Amino acid sequence: MKKSYILELEDIETIVNEILSHITNGVVLLKGDLASGKTTLVKAIAKKLGCEDEVTSPTFSLQQCYGENIFHYDIYNHGFEHFVSLGMGEELEKDGLHFIEWADDELKEFLELVGIDFIEIEILKLDNKRKYEICTH
């Protein structure tokens, strides 16, 4: 099922609530161009879940952890193969929400193969708004 929303940044809680109505444990695949708002969305979700940690992009570290059950990954620089070679696939089995920026089809196939729940969110930058497309599986 696919749903779309066009929102201004100050209305981000609408999409946060929608995402959390679909998944509270599992993987959230985040797609979108540079500066589309992937990390901003993770910040908003972490805040909604009561996490006070500073949420930053894991571009160079591959993984950031916030609180006890929010995990944030970025596979842009290294790709799926590197992600798996480091044993990060096993990390996805931990209870909590796992946000993965720059997810690709290989990662989706992996998640389906091992039976890990996930949803996809594509973010498109539209001037001062964002279009969020949520695809649930």
CATH number of the domain at 57, please. Answer: 3.40.50.300
pTM for the full model?
0.92
C-beta separation of 73 from 83 below 8 A: yes
At 25-77, the pLDDT tens digits run 999 999 999 989 999 999 999 999 999 999 988 776 778 999 989 999 988 87
- Residue identified by tokens 């096993």 is 90
Q: Report the domain count for the chain.
A: 1
Range of 70's domain? 2-136
